[in-house]
């Protein structure tokens, strides 16, 4: 056997190593990953309620097998008042009243997290979950288990282990060990997502991305082993499907014949002629949905179908090439509404994304819907390019599923129509207003880049980014649409430039006065990193790594958010009013000081502030020292325009009858820019609880500043309060902290709250508890955003073609 193991090891190219490892010098290429820990499904309170155990009762989980025949658990084994849950106990055995047998289908991690300590033998799974949940572990040594000394050393290093001798286990002398265990303060705070990390490494290797250039057979065996694992799984008698990347990787490795050779990959019924789905589950699902639509079209069955599916099945010429793009939503970690004032912002692309499929056809080959056929019947000899759009999931968002128009409607003679005319065109029918986000990309390309669209265009939209949650569903739609249209027409647009063009869609065609950070994150973001950008107008500084001990979540408040809402627009107007007042004040002070012949440096400073381009370029000390007293709390539009003429913002229009807040909206971006710069610097600081506390405090300050601007909401305030309750609870303090801060995101007035905490299982448990409490208080079960994915630029585009059905 040792010789066989040595032989097997000699074929390995790298070792995936877990914490608590024993030395394995045979491997030169080692990849360290965090603990492998299963996530929680229920909170501590829910589990104890189901078990019938009081919240203040001491609970030990007995996770132990292989005891002598005839040995039985006895009531006196436990200290008075204690309860014990038994894993894997026999159905034939009678248990004392203070022992509870767990059902065979009980989810053990939930029970571990709900217990006060664990009694058992050291194994990697129990060790990892005890460490992750900071659960004291009373262990009995195992014979012939070589890894035990190393796991035991790690337990003791993090103050999480108590050794019990076997004689005391069998004779029931448990009390001193259990009492010693609950006095410990386990302090492990490392990563717990080792399963995800290892799975990604293995999948990339199976796909040929790692260590496969000279040993494709090894990658193929790994691929087959992973698929076998899928085949062996059973959930309620349901076979879990084989992953779509299996065939894709097969073709990729088989086609790797020489450098520069084109790789042809197949996914379902399609050949991928360009691009890489990157194994993203939502992208694979979208390609599968295209295959289903094509099959539905072939079958000619249209009974019992919703309208959008019928329209989508008939949208494309399925034998021709289709271009697919993907763009994620974003979680506003810091910066928010200060973007249009030139602030530094930090944004994370989320896991949820929008997919858009585009096909161009000569007008003579374009499939027309019946009403479009009737419209073109009178002018049959003239072939006019048309635009047809189908939006999947429209019924969930109360909008029309289809939209079509003649592309000539975007022309005024030989020139594109004005943005104002286009905006009026789309608001005529409220159920069709959504189409402005999609069709508007075509008008912007015509206007800004001079693109001439001579062919008809078919567009299919499928978005997994929830609308109205403040996570930039509109930006994801715009970026994915323009990326797919650009790819279909051979336009090479850099991600930054594409984001700026998409902002024009939202500002000028849709009429929403947003900044550019949403589109920039969707286009330029990278998975599991924060995009750092100075919005003057869009200077991308690069990405900021999220430290391994830090994690971000988004929790939906259930209150719909819209940057087109009146509150957002009014706050923006108030901000620009404040900037105009500061500039005017600085100009007046400069003139007065010139008369007094004061120092030149002071005059130059005032002159610079008199020509202030971005409010965020004004430091807080200058705001407080010179201008804060010059700003009114509020002002009417009429009064402001009489004194200052205009507010120098081309995106918004002042209503003379409206009363605008000025001081709070002006103060917010000045201080927000400072907070974001401090936040960015802290992310690279030495790991400590003080670091997380400071990051969380900056988020809290941002949240309450939103509220002072009038952009808060009861729902988002409630979620932030729940985070604070968790942060300052006894349970959190015993863990040395889990969650540290929260803030409203994006344009405010509802939407999603961003939460920062330790990348630790206990934090996940508290997020679940917040979700539960919010549900109880409001009746709304909030969606939790977690995870990240690549931006549209990093993803690129797919060019696909359906295979011949007879192949």
| Predicted pLDDT at 502 | 96
Q: Three-class SS of residue 198?
A: helix
Q: Three-class SS of residue 69?
A: coil
| Predicted pLDDT at 32 | 87
Low-confidence spans in the chain with pLDDT less than 50: 212-214, 216, 233-266, 303-304, 562-566, 806-807
User: Which candidate, 349, 465, 325, 331, places its Cα nearest to that of 789?
Assistant: 349
| Predicted pLDDT at 730 | 79
Rounded Cα gap, residues 553 and 785, in angstroms = 6
Q: Three-class SS of residue 458?
A: strand
Dihedral of the alpha carbons of 419, 420, 421, 427, in degrees to the nearest 10: 110
| CB of 506 closer than 8 Å to CB of 746 | no
| Predicted pLDDT at 439 | 95
What CATH architecture does domain 566-781 belong to? 2-Layer Sandwich (3.30)
| Predicted pLDDT at 236 | 41
Q: Does domain 44-182 have CATH number 3.40.50.2000?
A: yes
| Predicted pLDDT at 382 | 67
User: Which candidate, 354, 213, 350, 332, places its Cα nearest to that of 282?
Assistant: 354
| Predicted pLDDT at 612 | 96
| Predicted pLDDT at 567 | 80
| CB of 296 closer than 8 Å to CB of 308 | no
Cα-atom radius of gyration of the chain, to the nearest Å?
A: 31
| Predicted pLDDT at 228 | 58
Please count the other Cβ atoms lying within 10 Å of the Cβ belonging to residue 780.
13
Task: Compute the C-alpha angle 295/301/305, nearest 5°.
Answer: 95
State which fold the 273-336+346-507 domain adopts.
Ribosomal Protein S5; domain 2 (3.30.230)
| Predicted pLDDT at 203 | 76
| Predicted pLDDT at 330 | 96
Q: What is the pLDDT of residues 588-638, one digit of tens each?
A: 998 887 665 557 888 899 999 999 999 999 999 999 999 999 999 999 999
Give ranges for CATH 3.40.50.2000 in the chain: 44-182
Alpha-helical segments (H) within 23-95: 44-51
Give ranges for CATH 3.30.70.890 in the chain: 566-781
| Predicted pLDDT at 23 | 77
Residues labelled as active-site residues: 518
| Predicted pLDDT at 259 | 32
Cα 185 to the center of its chain, rounded Å: 33
| Predicted pLDDT at 211 | 53
Task: From residue 108, give the alpha-carbon distance in Å to each of 63, 103, 105, 637.
Answer: 10, 10, 9, 62
Residue 430 CB partners (closer than 8 Å, separation 6+): none
Q: In the chain, what is the straight-line distance between the N-terminal and C-terminal CA atoms, in Å? A: 47
| CB of 286 closer than 8 Å to CB of 324 | yes
């Amino acid at each position: 056997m040792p010789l066989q193991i040595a032989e097997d090891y000699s074929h390995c190219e790298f070792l995936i190593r877990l914490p608590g490892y024993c030395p394995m010098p045979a491997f030169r290429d080692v990849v360290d990953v965090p603990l492998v820990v299963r996530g929680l499904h229920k909170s501590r309170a829910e589990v104890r309620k189901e078990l019938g155990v009081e919240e203040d009762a001491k609970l030990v989980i007995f996770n132990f097998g292989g005891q002598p025949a005839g040995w039985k658990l006895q009531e006196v084994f436990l200290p008075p008042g204690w309860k014990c849950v038994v894993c894997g106990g026999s159905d034939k055995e009678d248990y004392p009243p203070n022992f509870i047998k767990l059902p065979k289908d009980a989810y053990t991690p939930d029970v571990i997290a709900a217990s006060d300590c664990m009694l058992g033998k050291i194994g990697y799974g129990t060790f990892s979950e005890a460490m992750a949940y900071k659960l004291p572990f009373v262990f009995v040594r195992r014979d012939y288990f070589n890894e035990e000394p190393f796991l035991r050393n790690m337990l003791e290093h993090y103050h999480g282990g108590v050794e019990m001798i076997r004689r005391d286990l069998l004779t029931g002398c448990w009390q001193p060990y259990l009492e010693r265990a609950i006095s410990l303060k386990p302090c492990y705070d490392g990563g717990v997502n080792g399963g995800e990390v290892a799975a990604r490494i293995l999948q990339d290797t199976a796909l040929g991305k790692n260590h496969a250039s000279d040993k494709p057979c090894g990658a193929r065996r790994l691929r087959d082993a992973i698929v076998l694992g899928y085949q062996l799984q059973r959930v309620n008698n349901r076979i879990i499907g084989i992953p779509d990347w299996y065939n894709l990787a097969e073709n990729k490795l088989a086609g790797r014949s020489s450098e520069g050779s084109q790789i042809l990959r197949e996914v379902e019924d399609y050949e991928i002629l360009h691009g890489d789905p990157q194994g993203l589950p939502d992208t694979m699902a979208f390609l599968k949905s295209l295959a289903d639509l094509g099959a539905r079209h072939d079958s000619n069955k249209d009974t019992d179908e919703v309208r959008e599916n019928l329209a989508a099945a008939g949208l494309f010429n399925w034998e021709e090439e289709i271009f697919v793009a993907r763009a994620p939503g974003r979680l506003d970690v810091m910066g928010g509404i200060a973007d249009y004032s030139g602030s530094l912002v930090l944004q994370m692309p989320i896991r949820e994304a929008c997919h858009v499929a585009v096909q161009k056809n000569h007008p003579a080959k374009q499939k027309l819907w019946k009403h479009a056929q009737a419209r073109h019947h009178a002018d049959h000899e003239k072939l006019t390019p048309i635009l047809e759009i189908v939006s999947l999931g429209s019924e969930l968002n109360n909008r029309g599923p289809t939209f079509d128009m003649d592309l000539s409607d975007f022309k005024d003679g030989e020139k594109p129509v004005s943005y104002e005319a286009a905006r009026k065109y789309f608001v005529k029918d409220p159920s069709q207003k959504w189409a402005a986000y999609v069709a508007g990309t075509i008008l912007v390309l015509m206007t800004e880049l001079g693109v001439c669209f001579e062919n008809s265009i078919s567009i299919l939209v499928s978005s997994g980014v929830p609308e109205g949650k403040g996570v930039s569903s509109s930006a994801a739609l715009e970026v994915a649409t323009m990326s797919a249209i650009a790819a279909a027409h051979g336009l090479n647009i850099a991600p930054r430039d594409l984001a700026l063009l998409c902002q024009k869609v939202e500002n000028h065609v849709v009429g929403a006065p947003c900044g550019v950070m949403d589109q920039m994150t969707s286009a330029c973001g990278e998975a599991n990193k924060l995009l750092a950008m100075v919005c003057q107008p869009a200077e991308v500084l690069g990405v900021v790594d999220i430290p391994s001990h830090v994690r971000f979540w988004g929790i939906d408040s259930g209150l719909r958010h819209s940057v087109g809402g009146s509150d957002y627009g009014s706050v923006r107007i108030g901000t620009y009013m404040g900037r105009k007042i500061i500039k005017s004040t600085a100009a007046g002070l400069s003139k007065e000081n010139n008369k007094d012949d004061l120092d030149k440096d002071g005059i130059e400073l005032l002159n610079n502030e008199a020509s202030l381009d971005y409010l965020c370029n004004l430091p807080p000390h200058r705001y407080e020292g010179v201008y804060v007293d010059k700003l009114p709390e509020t002002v009417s539009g009429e009064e402001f325009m009489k004194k200052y003429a205009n507010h120098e913002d081309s995106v918004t229009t002042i209503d003379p009858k409206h009363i605008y807040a000025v001081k709070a909206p002006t103060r917010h971006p000045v201080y927000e820019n400072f907070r974001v710069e401090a936040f960015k610097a802290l992310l690279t600081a030495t790991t400590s609880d003080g670091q997380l506390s400071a990051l969380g405090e900056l988020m809290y300050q941002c949240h309450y500043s939103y509220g002072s601007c009038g952009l808060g909401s009861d729902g988002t305030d409630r979620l932030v309060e729940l985070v604070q309750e968790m942060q300052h609870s006894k349970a959190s303090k015993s863990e040395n902290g889990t969650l540290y801060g929260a803030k409203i995101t994006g344009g405010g007035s509802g939407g999603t709250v961003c939460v920062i905490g330790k990348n630790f299982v206990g934090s996940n448990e508290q997020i679940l508890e917040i979700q539960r409490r919010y549900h109880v208080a409001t009746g709304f079960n909030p969606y939790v955003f977690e995870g990240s994915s690549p931006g549209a630029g990093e993803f690129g585009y797919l060019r696909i073609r359906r295979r011949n059905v007879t192949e």
